[in-house]
Structure 1
């Protein structure tokens, strides 16, 4: 956020902080472990998709 404040100027940064959509920053919608598990699941799904196409190059 510091970079955004430097690029946009202090007035734009202050407008963003006063937005009703910005919370206090201390609360997450899920437990922190859930974010890691979701990311791990997505990466495993991408790995499975990649693994499914491992022999495509040999056919052509």
Structure 2
């Protein structure tokens, strides 16, 4: 299994798209749980880290400071 490296403010693609039709999510909080925000409608979801890594498909954009 590949090791997915992600960080805060990265834009990720999940395996299933949001009901609003967009599949771009921004990571807005990291810890034991990860909060992601839909780039389409602004809805945010908090997932346990293990579940997030399982459901994440790929990183679209890496955030650069």
TM-score range, shorter chain: under 0.3
Which has the higher Rg, Structure 1 or Structure 2? 1
Q: Structure 1-normalised TM-score?
A: 0.20
Normalized per residue, the structure richer in helix is 1
